Structure 1
C-alpha cells in the first residue's frame, strides 16, 4: 500500500481545467476551493488551536528560548494567580474554627498551621475586636494569615517554599509626647478626672498609684486636687493610646502626696516618693474601685436581716453586681467556697500574721491553695448568702483578731524603698520628671493664689 497524496486546492483546480470549459472551470474551482477550506478547518488539530488559551510571551535575555506554543495548552498556573483575600473581625464567642470556616479555609489547613510551632498556639487566644486577614490560593490552600492585634502590632504566618509556615512579628513604634492634666474634685474623682480629659484607664491608674495612702471610697473630699503627667502616643498624626503615668501629685484633705515612676536596672517599673520610698504598701486600702461604704466596721451593729445586735467585723462596699474584687495583698488562698451565710467567699492568708476575707461574691476567680498577687482579681461583687443587695463584705484580721480595714492599712509598713546603692540612678531618672511636673503646676498654682488674693480684697 502506497501513501496517498492529500488533495490540495491547486490540484483540484487543475483537474477541473482539463475536463470543463474555462468559464465552467472557474466557477467549479471556486466552489471546490471553498469546500476544501471547510474540510481543512474541521480537522482535530485546527479545532484544538482555535480553542486553546492565549499565551502571553515575554522576552527572555540570552540564548534561552521562549516556551513552545504546545506548552501553553496546559492548565493555568495557580502559583502565579492572584491570591484571594478575606478579612474578618473576631466577634464575641468566635473560635478559630469559626473564623476559618467563614474564610472558606478547611479545618485541615487550620490544624497544619496550629502544628507549625509554639507561636501558632497563640491563635487559640484571640480576643474580640482583633482582625484576621486570610490569603488563599486558587486551590483553597492557605498561603498566609495576618493577626492584627491592634494598630501597632501585627503577627504574620506565611507559607515558605517548602510548605512550612514561618512566624514574623511586625511592630510599629508610635510617636510619644508628654501630656499634663489637672483637676479639682467637686463630687467624685471619676467626674473630676473625666472633666480634666483623663480616660477611665488613666483615672484608675492614678487611683492605684495612691491606693496605699488614700481610701478613694472614704477619704475623698470636695476641694481635693490632683495633677498628672503621662505619655500620649500618636500614629500617623492620630492618637492611638496613652503611655504610663510618669509623675503625679494628689492633695487629699490638705495633705499632698507625690509619686514618680522609676524603671530599675532589671526593667521593672514601680512608683516611689521623690526620696525613693515605695508608694506600694503591703496592702491596698480598698479591694474594689470607686465604691461607697454602705456599712462600716462596727462591733455593735444592728444586723439588717436578723434585726439583732451582731458585730460587723468588716466593711461593706456597695457596688454594682460584677464589679471586680482585688486581692488586698500578696498571699495564698486558704479557703474558697460557698456557705449559706457568706455566699461565695475567698479567704487569703498573707504571711503568718494577716488574713483578708471577701464575702457575698457573685463569682469566684480564685481556688483554694492558689497564690495571688496584690490587685489580682479574685472575684466579682454579688449578693449571695445573707445579703440585702450587691456589695462586698471585707474583713481584715491580725493574729486572728478582727481589725478595722479602713484604718489598719495605714499602720502597716510599705514595700522596700530604693537601696542606697541605686539612689544615684534613681535621682538621675526621676528628678527631671518631677521638675517637669512642677513646671506644669506652677501656672495653675499662681492663678489660684491670685484668685485667693482677689477674694480677700
Structure 2
C-alpha cells in the first residue's frame, strides 16, 4: 500500500517536472515543412556602454582617488612606466591638468583583455555628470564630456498634518523639494512656522544621469502653497534669455523675492534672534547685546550671500572666527560669522545665492551655526524688522508674455488634486464622461 502511494507520488513529480520544462524552457516553432518543433529559447544579454565605450571589450577597473594617489602612481600600479606617464602628461597638459584629481572622486581604467591588462583609457569623474577621458593607446589625447541627462516632470500634492518633511516623506519625495520651496517662498512663507492643514502642490522636474541614475530634483516649474488659508502661487520664468536668468513670480506677475534672502542657509532654524538685552552663557550669563541672528545648521552646510555685492572683509578674529562681510550698496552690508572655512576673498563680487563659506564653530560659539549680521547706513539692525527693497520687478515689456506663458501651467497646477479632494464624474447612459466636478 505504502509502496503504491510512493510510486504514484513519483509519477506525479516526474509529470510536473516535464510540464515545467515544457512550459518554461521551450517554445513552439514551425520549420520549413510547416511542422511544429520545440526549440529552446535563448536570450542574448545586452552590451553595457558607459562613457561612450562598449565595456565588454575591456577589463574594467573602477576605484576612487585616495589620499596620496597621483595619476602616475595609479598608472604605475597598472603596468604603465613613469616614462610613459611623463609623455602622456606632456601631451595632454593643454587639455587637462592631472594635478586636479581630487580625493574621493571615482575613476575608471579600461584595460586590454590579455594577461598584462594594460590600461588603454583613464576616465576621471569630477562629479556625477562630467567626466574626463585620457586615451593612453597609440595617439595620446584627452577630452571632456558629459553623461546623457534626462529630465522627468512630476506632480505632487500634500497636506501638512505635522511637518513638511513628514508630508513629503509619506509621498516618497526627496526633502530637497522642501529646501527649494523654502527658497522660492522665503519672503512670503516662514517654513519654520507652518500650520496644520496648510497644503501645497508642485510641478517639478527630476534629473537622471544615463537615464537611470537619480541625480535629485532639478527645479520647480510651478507651485501653489496654501498657508493660513491664503493662497500663494509661484511660476518660474526666464527674465533674460541671453544670460539665462530666471526668477519666480505670482499669478499677477509680482516678484516673490526681495533684494535680500531671508537667511544665509537653506531651510534654516533660528536659534537666537537679534536682541540687545540677551544674556549669553559663554560670557558668564551677562547681558550682552546680540546684534545678529543665529541660524543653526550642521557643520559644512553651505553659507550663501543674501544679496549681490562686493566682499569687503574675509578674515579671522578671536570672537568672530572665520567671517565674511559683504557691501551690497551705499546703504546695506551683511556679515557672516563662525565659518568653518571661507570661500571668497576681499574685492570679489558675489551674486545672491553664491556660496561664500561653510558653517562651522570657529570663534566664540557653543555650537555650529552662522551668526548673520545686517547693517543699514552703518548701524547693525534686525533684518526681519526692515522694509527691504523688492527684487527687480518683471518689465512691462515681458509682463504680457509672462501672463500668456503661465496660463497653461496654472491650469495644469490647479488640476492637480489634493489627497482629500473628491472628483465627481458624471456619466451618461453609455458610460461616457459628461462633466467633471
Give the TM-score, by structure 2 length.
0.70
Tell me how far 1:154 sits from its aligned partner. 5.5
Aligned equivalent of 2:122: 145
Count how many residue pairs are aligned between Structure 1 and Structure 2.
362
Query: In 1, Cα distance between the equivalents of 2:57 and 2:80?
Result: 13
Instruction: Please tell me whether residue 403 in structure 1 is matched to residue 381 in structure 2.
Output: yes
Q: What residue in structure 1 maps to residue 304 of structure 2? A: 326
Q: Deviations over 1:329-358 (max 9, x none)?
A: 111221222222222222211111111122
Q: Is the 8 A contact 1:105 1:140 kept in 2?
A: no
Q: 1:422 aligns with which of 398, 413, 424?
A: 398
Residues 73-115 of structure 1 deviation map (CA, whole Å, 9 limit, x = unaligned): xxxxxxxxx9864422324545434433343333444444444
**Deviation at residue 317 of structure 1 after TM alignment:** 2.1
> What secondary structure does 2:169 align onto?
helix
Q: Aligned to 1:297, which of 245, 261, 274?
A: 274
Quote the residue 1:182 is aligned against. 157
Matches within 5 A, 1:425-444: 425-441=401-417, 443-444=418-419
User: How many angstroms apart in 1 are the aligned matches of 2:401 and 2:74?
Assistant: 50
Judged with a 3 Å threshold, the aligned counterparts in structure 2 of structure 1 residues 307 and 154 are, in CA distance, closer, same or farther, namely closer
- Considering fraction of residues, name the structure with more helix: 1
3-state secondary structure, aligned to 2:274: coil
Corresponding residue number in structure 2 for 1:120: 96
Give 3-state SS (helix, strand or coil) of 2:262's partner: coil
SS of the equivalent of 2:421 reads helix
Cα pair distance change 1:120/1:184, threshold 3 Å: same
5+ long unaligned stretches in structure 1: 1-81, 449-457
Q: Is 1:282 equivalent to 2:282 in the alignment?
A: no
Is the strand fraction higher in 1 or 2? 2
Partner of 2:230: 255
Structure 2 unpaired stretches of 5+: 1-55, 424-437
2:244 pairs with 1:245: no
Normalised by the length of structure 1, the TM-score is 0.68
Q: RMSD across aligned C-alpha pairs, in angstroms?
A: 3.5
Alignment of 1:34-433 (within 5 A): 85-91=59-65, 93=67, 94-114=69-89, 115-116=91-92, 118-121=94-97, 124-125=100-101, 128-135=104-111, 143-147=120-124, 155-158=132-135, 163-165=139-141, 167=143, 169=145, 171-174=147-150, 176-217=151-192, 219-233=193-207, 238=212, 240-241=214-215, 242-263=217-238, 264-266=240-242, 267-304=244-281, 305-408=283-386, 411-433=387-409
For residue 137 of structure 1, report the CA deviation from its aligned partner: 9.2
